Structure 1
Amino acid sequence: MLENGKISIRQFSILVILFTVGGSILIVPSGLASEAKQDGWIAGLLALGIGLLLIPFYYALGHRFQDKTISEYSEDLLGKWVGKLISLLFFTYFMINAGLTLRNIGDFMTTQFIPETPIEAIFIVFLAIVIIGTRNGIEPLSRSAEVLFPLVILLFIILSTSLIPEIKFENIQPVYEVGIKPIIRGAIPFIGSTFLELVVFLMIFPFANKTNQLRNSFLTGTLIGGIILIFISLLAILTMGSEVTARHLYPSYALARKINVADFLTRIEAILAGIWFVTIFIKLTVFFYASALSLAQTLKLKDYRFLTLPLGMILMVLALVLGPNIVAIEKFNKYILAPYSFTFGFVFPMLLLAISTFRMKGVKKNSSQ
């Protein structure tokens, strides 16, 4: 194996939580409110329910090949050339998602914090940290996530409690006014940009201890991460209203600016930024790690670490060419990412699971004869 590190069940669950929250904490409330209006939180619950249904499916595939990543057993199941093609497609999927994540970092920083700074400079700084994290391997990354996780939860609690005076329950009334179709339309991008992307953890399954407990760990991480996103979306609608939430590019960040506790505790949007920096670092590093490891395994290389620098350069270019501006990136996330993620997050894994099931039945039948 190209990776010798091992992570605990707890670390795996924390990685899933932070990955799920990722960059979604900034953009999900806007997408839910733009389609489902004040019922955006209902669309979020629908998306979370579907996301939780994906986890037993991923676990079934990963548990069947406990010592291999999805890039490795794709070749075992589909043959050398078709398997390599599927592995390379997964590598492309991981890289494109890493590029989108990096672009989200650059867009947020240049629009909210340092507008005069070239976006390329921001890419270089973040990529340097991500490359270091990737080269160290999955075990140090998981330990870092474990250390940072209590900070994320603490900041989330401070943010949530500080917004209590701003809540207006009339902003979510009447409930279920828009009907089921807008709720479904709101849930689809959420599923594509958050839960279908969890297929990347099939690259990490072999490095987790006690694989028989991974199913519950995976479900717990997805559930907690999804609840955090839905709760932030609900807070945004409750405090700002669905129309204002839908108009904001980063409604969660605008939400944090509304905090005012006794005219003393105000403008603490740095809290949300702190949550976002930690979670999006984990998400980008997991995608980049999966990209490097997948390509190394597909090409039968002895190590993946020497790939990190050239892949980092490619990732920087990719982040620049994926869209000419924020509007193009938003349209990509809304209309293209969901079917694209559905292909790699459901269709291909389902194909692999079906083939492995038929092969196991064939082996049992032959052995019984």
Structure 2
Amino acid sequence: MTKPSVTPKQLVHWIILYQLGSSFLLLPGMLTTIAKQDAWIAVLLSILGYMLLVPMYAAIAKRMHGRTIHEYAVGVFGKLLGSTLLFVFIVCFPFLIFTLLLADLSDFVATVFFPETPEIVIQAGMLLPVLYALRLGIASVGRAAEILFYIVLFLFLLGYLSLVPAMNPTQLLPVLEYGWKPPVYASLSMLAFPYAETAFLLFVTPYTRNFRKWSSLFAGCALVVGSIFLLMTLLSVGVLGEALAANMAYPSYTVLTTISYWDFYERFEVIVGVLWYITIFFRLTLLLFVSADGLASVLRLSDYRILLSGLSLIALTLAGVVHPNAVFFLNSLKPWQSYAILLGIAVPFVVLLIDALRSRAVRTRS
């Protein structure tokens, strides 16, 4: 059977939509809470920090030489240890995020749109198109990303650029009122969510078509996503003010409710619903694909589709346990920052280091 594949262009669009995901709802508020009116500086610092990590992810992608992540792990650590470590990584990182995301999306939909609808119904309704898309294959998901990316970009620019006349630049002053520490600390939030999740993209690299320019791909996606977050953060703080933006769960949603020109050009918060649905769809598809494909390799299954339904049911069951309410979720953001950086940045670095030392030892012996 021919191996499914996505083009580099499709992968770029999928990555950008994935990294936007739920973070474009949560991130502006998270950054403003810590860095106040300097939240935009935190965005710039996180982009700079991620650029320093791009060579690491690109080096791993090149060292995989078209192999799956399981084949690469076995090559570095051996069959038993490599399979075990990969299994633990998948369960504790991409699959956990997949489960948390289901709970997060139902919380947002129930809060903003359908307060009387049971959360399990919302979660199941979102999972059905994800399951259908992945059963068609990642090539179909890649083509969908290629088309919907431009719709997302158009709606984003249409909505947020409409806020420019209402922006008050004095809301961004004084710059660095509390020093460098708050924006530096806030930048770690964005580095952890979503940039540390670049590690998941290594699961997709074997499905690209003879692509080698991973540094350019990772850096380009980060710059696009970072520019979007920078614009959103500037407008959220510039229109609402740092005090109001920091005390709102979804300031990037709330700020669009302020758009009203001539009693006709308004109700742009609906755009957020459309943007959110599209980006969440691609975020869920990548997380579920990474989990199913990785576990299928570890368990020696012929097709990742075998695990899709089972993993989805497990996630639906666990969603209410790992995310019981919004307060618990907000309190978990601080430890999650360290957790994501550990698994998404420190672990790939250690793997790359071990692989490099092992390769050097092999060359020395030969």
**In 2, are the aligned partners of 1:162 and 1:261 still within 8 Å (CA)?**
no
Name the stretch that deviates more: 321-330 or 213-222.
213-222
Match of 1:61 in 2: 60
Aligned mates of 2:95, 2:64 — CA distance in 1: 24
Deviations 1:218-265 (A, max 9, x none): 211121012111211111001000110011101111011011123321
Match of 2:208 in 1: 208
Q: AA paired with 1:16?
A: I
Q: Percent identity?
A: 32
Alignment of 1:120-139 (within 5 A): 120-139=120-139
Aligned mates of 1:215, 1:207 — CA distance in 2: 17
**In 1, are the aligned partners of 2:61 and 2:214 still within 8 Å (CA)?**
no
2:16 is equivalent to residue 14 of structure 1: no
2:106 is equivalent to residue 106 of structure 1: yes
Match of 1:33 in 2: 32
- What's the CA shift for 1:65? 0.9
Alignment of 1:315-326 (within 5 A): 315-326=315-326
Match of 1:279 in 2: 279
Deviations 1:319-356 (A, max 9, x none): 21112201111221x21221111222122211211121
Deviations 1:292-325 (A, max 9, x none): 0010001111111111111100011122111220
**In 2, are the aligned partners of 1:12 and 1:218 still within 8 Å (CA)?**
no
Alignment of 1:22-171 (within 5 A): 22-92=21-91, 93-171=93-171
Aligned mates of 2:143, 2:51 — CA distance in 1: 25
**In 1, are the aligned partners of 2:167 and 2:235 still within 8 Å (CA)?**
yes
Q: AA paired with 2:185?
A: R
Q: What's the secondary structure of 1:212's corresponding residue? A: coil
Q: Point out 4+ residue stretches in structure 1 off by more than 3 angstroms.
A: none
Q: AA paired with 2:266?
A: T
Q: AA paired with 1:157?
A: L
Aligned mates of 1:165, 1:126 — CA distance in 2: 36
Aligned mates of 1:46, 1:89 — CA distance in 2: 31
Aligned mates of 1:260, 1:75 — CA distance in 2: 58
Match of 1:305 in 2: 305
Q: AA paired with 1:228?
A: I
Deviations 1:3-56 (A, max 9, x none): 811111111111111111111000001011101000000011111211222222
Q: AA paired with 1:201?
A: L
TM-score by length of 2: 0.97
Aligned mates of 1:337, 1:5 — CA distance in 2: 34
**Residues 180, 293 of structure 1: CA spacing in aligned structure 2 closer, same or farther, 3 A cutoff?**
same
Deviations 1:72-123 (A, max 9, x none): 3112211122211211122111110111211121011000000000000001
**Residues 343, 85 of structure 1: CA spacing in aligned structure 2 closer, same or farther, 3 A cutoff?**
farther
- What's the CA shift for 1:212? 1.5
Aligned mates of 1:164, 1:343 — CA distance in 2: 38
Deviations 1:259-286 (A, max 9, x none): 1123321121111221111111111110
Unaligned runs of 5+ in 2: none
Deviations 1:162-206 (A, max 9, x none): 112211011001111121111122112221121001110000011
Q: AA paired with 2:125?
A: V
Q: AA paired with 1:78?
A: F
Aligned mates of 1:120, 1:33 — CA distance in 2: 31
Match of 1:239 in 2: 239
Aligned mates of 2:287, 2:146 — CA distance in 1: 18
**In 2, are the aligned partners of 1:159 and 1:271 still within 8 Å (CA)?**
yes
Aligned mates of 2:171, 2:122 — CA distance in 1: 37
**In 1, are the aligned partners of 2:160 and 2:256 still within 8 Å (CA)?**
no
Aligned mates of 2:312, 2:287 — CA distance in 1: 12
- What's the CA shift for 1:211? 2.1
Q: What's the secondary structure of 1:185's corresponding residue? A: helix
Name the stretch that deviates more: 288-297 or 342-351.
342-351
Aligned mates of 1:274, 1:347 — CA distance in 2: 35
Q: AA paired with 1:127?
A: L
